[in-house]
């Protein structure tokens, strides 16, 4: 196993203002290994890799590539020493073709010979076993296809070290499988891969070694074969507890609270986004809506909270018709909403106390004048109850993602809504905050709320939902009890394979 090291990062130190993002981190990548960089959000994984790729500059520390000290000041330098990176938000230019994206910044001469370029990209595609269509426009490609373009782009530049920043976050299970197969094959061809992730099972599946980062420090490097998910989890969070548990999954027999009948709606471009959606959510039930992003989830959430018009069908809460009545009446009917983009559901420049009162200001006013005292007391009460690390007067934009989400949660849940529409509730949150949010949702379920959980995180849905509906291109593919939902089956449904073909 004693191969020379592809990369050595020594004592890398980087601070942003008062935050030390990388605290004298050592990291070693062997040639021809897949090495996971594991840690919670904000643990410094991405920072470390951005330093390696020249997007950030370390305050101190050194980088050694193939035994030689390397000065990496920009991605160009990184590319020159054979390092490629596939970032979370793909670094592609959508209106350009696949070929143009791949050769961008890596061409010789002034004029581009397009035919020659197409040919070379096709050649590379064959050589590395990564299928792409050279002449296709990137904007027409699926997320999985775009990722392949990114990988090929790095390999085209003769990368022998590939950094992948949470590559599976955007993929359906089948695409993940394909990706892993490709990486495995490339590894055999001699490629070294750094695989940034916070998903334990993936790390266990694909990697040779794991380095865990916690709070900007290296919490240890272990051989994957000789470790276990609980051990990695402990290294990540510094404690053993992990995950929340749902009280056993007997299907809810509560009355139907939220009901959608043949609902249709258009997206912002005027194209059909929702087609014939029929769903029922019972009291004390969490209905998980699974799907790859952009298949109508956003529009469905908007239709339900009254911010998007329904073009056909009916929405009822406890037999009251709330179709197209507008957000105010929807809320009055007992619907609480925790929207997808938490920055859009708060006003960044207003204080925590003001944001907490935002959805029902009338309760805090006397003759149209805000009563600061009740506002403040209300905020103090919620801050204590929801363990929010902030004071009432703080501007909301200064809060971390987790605390901001708690503010929104507090605002919605204190009113004991009968229906809760919650979208991507834990996106971008660390393990602690995620656990808290999920715990709160389960608590509401126990109290008898009907919860529609829209999430792109399949693990989250499997963990919380009683019933799972899968949405694909604005249609519900299937609805099944959580107990009967296997990852593979959900993955097929999420990629549009109809229910009757799944069983075969």
Partner 1 sequence: MIEATFVTFLVGLLGATLRVATPLLFATIGELYTERSGVLNLGIEGIMFLGAFVGFAIAAKSAEAELAGYLWLGLGGAIVVGLIMGLLMAFFSVTLGVNQHVAGLGITLLSTGLALFGFRMIFGQSSVLPSIEPFAQLSIFGDLPILGPIFEQYLLTYVAFIVLLPLAWWLLYRTNYGLELRSVGENPEAADAAGVNVFRVRYITLALGAALMAIGGAFLSLAQLGAFSPGIIAGRGWVCIALVIFAKWDPIRAMWGALLFGGVFALQLRLQLLDLVDIPFEFFLALPYLVTIAALALAGRNVAYPGAYLKAYRRE
State the residues that interact with partner 1 by CB under 8 A: 53, 55-56, 74-76, 79, 85, 87, 89-96, 100-101, 103-107, 109-112, 114, 153
CB of 12 to partner 1, least distance (A): 17
Tokens of 161: 């070290």
CA angle 486, 490, 491 (to 5 degrees): 115
- The residue among 74 and 228 lying less far from partner 1, judged by its C-beta, is 74
Closer CB to partner 1, 188 or 269, in the complex: 269
| Sequence-separated (6 or more) residues with CB below 8 Å from residue 286 | 441, 442, 445, 451, 453, 464, 465, 466, 467
CA count, 13 A, side-chain hemisphere, 424: 20
Closest CB to partner 1 among residues 105, 131: 105
CA torsion sign for 11, 17, 20, 22 is negative
The residue (of 103 and 423) whose beta carbon lies closer to partner 1 is: 103
Six-digit token string for 168:
């599976």
Residue 424 DSSP symbol? S
Q: Using the minimum distance from each CB to partner 1, give the nearer residue, 90 or 128.
A: 90
How far apart are CB 96 and partner 1 at their closest, in Å? 7
Closest approach of partner 1 to the CB of residue 144, in Å: 18
The nearer residue to partner 1, 146 or 378, going by C-beta atoms, is 146
User: Which two three-digit tokens encode residue 202?
Assistant: 């993936």
- Give the Cα separation of 327 and 200 in Å (integer): 40
10 Å CB burial of residue 242 (0-12, 13-18, 19+) is: middle
Q: Which residues make beta-bridge pairs with 256?
A: 282
Nearer to partner 1, 154 or 210 (CB): 154
CB of 107 to partner 1, least distance (A): 5
- Give the shortest CB-88-to-partner 1 separation in angstroms: 12
Nearest distance, CB of residue 94 and partner 1, angstroms: 7
Q: Tell the smallest beta-carbon distance from residue 105 to partner 1 (Å).
A: 4
C-alpha span between 381 and 301 (Å, rounded)? 29
């Amino acid at each position: 196993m004693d191969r020379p090291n592809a990369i050595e990062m020594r004592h890398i130190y980087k601070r942003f203002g008062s935050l030390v993002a990388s605290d004298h981190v050592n990291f070693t990548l062997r040639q021809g290994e897949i090495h996971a960089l594991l840690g919670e959000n904000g643990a410094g994984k991405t920072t470390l890799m951005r330093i390696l790729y020249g997007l950030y500059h370390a305050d101190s520390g050194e980088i050694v590539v193939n035994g030689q000290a390397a000065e990496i000041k920009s991605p160009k330098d990184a590319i020159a020493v054979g390092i490629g990176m596939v970032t979370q938000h793909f670094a592609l230019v959508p209106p350009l073709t696949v070929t143009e994206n791949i050769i961008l910044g890596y061409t010789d001469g002034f004029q581009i010979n397009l035919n020659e370029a197409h040919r070379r990209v096709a050649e590379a595609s064959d050589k590395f076993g990564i299928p792409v269509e050279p002449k296709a426009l990137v904007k027409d490609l699926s997320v999985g296809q775009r990722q392949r373009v990114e990988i090929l782009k790095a390999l085209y530049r003769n990368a022998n070290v590939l950094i992948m920043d949470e590559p599976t976050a955007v993929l359906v299970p089948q695409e993940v499988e394909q990706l892993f197969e490709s990486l495995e094959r490339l590894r055999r061809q001699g490629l070294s891969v750094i695989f940034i992730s916070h998903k334990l099972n993936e790390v266990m599946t694909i990697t040779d070694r794991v380095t865990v980062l916690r709070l900007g420090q290296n919490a240890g490097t272990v051989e994957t074969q000789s470790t276990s998910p609980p051990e990695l989890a402990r290294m990540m969070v510094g404690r053993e507890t992990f995950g929340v548990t749902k009280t056993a999954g007997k299907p809810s027999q509560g009355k139907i609270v939220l009901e959608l009948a043949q609902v249709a709606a258009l997206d912002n471009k005027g194209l059909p986004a929702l087609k014939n959606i029929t769903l029922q959510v019972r009291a004390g039930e969490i209905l998980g809506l699974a799907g790859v992003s952009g298949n109508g989830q956003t529009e469905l959430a908007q239709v339900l909270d009254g911010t998007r018009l329904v073009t056909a069908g009916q929405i009822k809460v406890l037999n009251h018709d709330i179709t197209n009545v507008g957000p105010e009446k929807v809320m009055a009917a007992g619907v609480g909403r925790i929207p997808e983009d938490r920055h859009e559901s708060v006003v960044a420049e207003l204080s925590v106390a003001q944001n907490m009162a935002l959805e029902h200001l009338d309760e805090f006013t006397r003759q149209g004048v805000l009563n600061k005292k009740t506002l403040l007391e209300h905020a103090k009460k919620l801050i204590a109850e929801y363990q929010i690390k902030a004071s009432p007067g703080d501007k909301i934009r200064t809060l971390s993602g987790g605390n901001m989400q708690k503010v929104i949660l507090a605002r919605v849940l204190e009113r004991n809504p009968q229906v809760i529409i919650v979208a991507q509730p834990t996106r971008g949150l660390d393990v602690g905050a995620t656990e808290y949010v999920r715990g709160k949702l389960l608590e509401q379920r126990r109290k008898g709320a009907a919860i529609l959980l829209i999430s792109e995180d399949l693990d989250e849905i499997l963990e919380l939902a009683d019933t799972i509906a899968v949405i694909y291109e604005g249609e519900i593919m299937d609805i099944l009890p959580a107990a009967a939902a296997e990852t593979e089956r959900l993955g097929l449904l999420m990629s549009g394979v109809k229910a009757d073909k799944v069983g075969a």
